[in-house]
Amino acid sequence: MADAMTVDGGMVRIDRPMPWVGRLLSLPLLGASGYLLWNVALGLHQDFSGFGRLADDLVPVLVFTGLGLMVGIPGVILLTFRTFVVLNETLRQIVITRQFGPLNLRRHRDLADYHFISITDDYDPELTTYDVNLCGNKGTEPITLMSFTKREEADKFAKEIGGVLKLPARDYVGTEPDSDE
């Protein structure tokens, strides 16, 4: 947990790690893509070294290249996907970044819209996870900061982040969800 949150002056950065299962799922995709693109490279090498004609192999080269990219790009996305939240107290701004490869998708929010830290659970008796959320008034979309499998860790993180941001922590574990009316 200590490595998930870094505090630097008026900025707090919370890294949400990608589950290892997601990274593991990227390996077959990258392997299949590598196999297809390796065959394309072998075919092109054969054509350019004089043992074949590119005109005869053009359709398979294009098909294998397309399939290799179609399978490889999701593999690269799964392998490099990261999410982090930066809370800037000086600018009173929240930046939620989803990053994969060189692509960054950022959403900006106003920190003044958020008034408390909440701890919620997912109501699953077997595999309960406790989410620590940054919440505001009704109608403000909460921001999930971290998820934990142990309630003590969620309480500790909520107190740490609440102390840094000077926001109260509220525990909603075991309560019924609000109606959307």
Co-location of 59 and 121 in the same domain: no
Burial of 176 (0-12, 13-18, 19+ CB in 10 A): exposed
DSSP 3-state of 143: strand
Does a structural domain hold residue 179?
no
Residue 139 dihedral angles phi and psi, to the nearest 5°: 100, -15
Residue 126 dihedral angles phi and psi, to the nearest 5°: -90, -45
Does a structural domain hold residue 115?
yes
Say what the pLDDT of residue 91 is. Answer: 85
Co-location of 34 and 11 in the same domain: no
Co-location of 61 and 72 in the same domain: yes
Q: Cα torsion at 128, 130, 131, 135 (round to 10°)? A: 120
Sheet holding 130-136, edge to edge: 143-148, 130-136, 114-121, 169-171
Does a structural domain hold residue 106?
yes
Range of the domain at 163: 5-18+81-171
pTM for the model stands at: 0.72
Co-location of 100 and 156 in the same domain: yes
Co-location of 99 and 56 in the same domain: no
Instruction: Please give the helix or strand (H or E) that residue 95 lies within, else none.
Output: strand 93-100
Co-location of 44 and 126 in the same domain: no
End residue of a domain, out of 80, 101, 127: 80
CATH of the domain at 139: 2.30.29
State the total domains in the chain. Answer: 2
Q: Amino acid identity, residue 148?
A: F
Does a structural domain hold residue 68?
yes
Say what the pLDDT of residue 181 is. Answer: 44
Instruction: Please give the helix or strand (H or E) that residue 67 lies within, else none.
Output: helix 54-80
Q: Distance between CA atoms of 102 and 95, rounded to whole angstroms? A: 17
Per-residue pLDDT 10s for the chain (181 aa) are: 446 778 888 788 988 877 788 889 899 999 999 999 999 999 999 888 888 787 888 899 999 999 999 999 999 988 988 889 998 888 889 999 999 878 899 999 998 888 888 888 777 667 778 888 888 888 888 888 888 888 888 888 888 888 888 888 887 766 655 554 4
Taking each helix axis from N to C end, the angle separating 20-48 and 54-80, rounded to the nearest 10 degrees, works out to: 160
Under 8 Å between Cβ of 117 and 135? yes
Nearest CA to 113 out of 139, 91, 76 is that of 139
Co-location of 31 and 72 in the same domain: yes
